[in-house]
Amino acid sequence: MSNTGYKAYTDLEQYYLDNGVATGVTKTNSVSDPDYVAPVLDLVYCPLPSATPSVTPTISVTPTSTPTVSVTPSVTPTVTPSVTVSISVTPSISVTPSVTPTISVTPSSTPSVSVTPSVTPSVTPSVSGGYAPAVTNVSAGVQSCVGGTCDDYLAWSITLDSPVTVDTNYTLQIDLYQYGVYAYTYYGGGTIQAGQSSNYSDPCTGGGAYIGCNYTFNSVCILYIDSPVNPSTYAC
């Protein structure tokens, strides 16, 4: 057959990896074997043959002579690659057992200690007036602060039956109507200062909220207020 330029292996031989000595074990280089070595292109060891020269015979009138051309085919040498086998050795590990020494303990004498327990008195917080403040009134209203057209502002207020001891936050739910039809719900709020019992959100002094024109409020209730103030019957 003609030389294709590829170097192929017919047999595999086993070698030791550390010293390169052959073990004497050989096997066929089969495609189904995991150690199969595929042919590789090697034009140095397997050069391609040169083109077959064309021979033009010399023809004479008498007689006719047909030259015979002999072509010697090239032979692809068989090279047996070396196969290295890596041998893993699991070392033997010796474990030296640990020795727990014997400890001699000399008992110590525990002195008797007399402890006089301390008593922490319980403190019951006092509420000013003897009870938590309760809401006595909430209200909302629409007013004009500028006096022009379509300049309605929403104001609201809240009143308690006694002053609060700390700043107390609250939120009111106010239903707004326009031309007698429900429009939307506005949530307004503020802070009742410590020592006070009411809060008024005046839109003409920076409080309240601008809402436009032709609005009226239909209902107002307490959505949230800090403890311990009791929203009473004004809770939403």
Of 7-16, 24-33, 104-113, the least confident: 104-113
Of 10-24, 40-54, 56-70, 113-127, the least confident: 113-127
Domains, in order of start, for the chain: 1-50+75-87 (no CATH), 132-234 (2.60.40)
The sign one gets for the Cα dihedral 145, 146, 152, 153 is negative
Q: Where do we find the tokens 């109507």?
A: 177
For residues 73 and 49, give the distance between their C-alpha atoms in angstroms, rounded to a whole number. Answer: 8
Per-residue pLDDT tens over the stretch 109-144: 444 434 344 444 443 444 444 579 999 999 998 888
Per-residue pLDDT tens over the stretch 188-232: 999 999 999 999 999 888 888 988 888 888 899 999 999 999 999
For residues 115 and 221, give the distance between their C-alpha atoms in angstroms, rounded to a whole number. Answer: 58
Residue 151 or residue 118, greater confidence? 151
Residue 96 or residue 234, greater confidence? 234
pLDDT band at residue 49 under the 50/70/90 scheme: confident
Beta bridge partners of 152: 144, 212
- Per DSSP, 129 falls in state G
- % of the chain beyond a pLDDT of 90: 35
- pLDDT of 44: 83
- The two tokens of residue 75 are 């032979």
Give pTM, 2 decimals: 0.45
- pLDDT of 1: 58
Q: Where do we find the tokens 């033009």?
A: 56
Length reported for the chain: 236
- pLDDT of 66: 53
Of 30-44, 113-127, 149-163, the least confident: 113-127
Residue pair 226/191 in contact (Cβ under 8 Å)? The answer is no
For residues 234 and 219, give the distance between their C-alpha atoms in angstroms, rounded to a whole number. Answer: 11
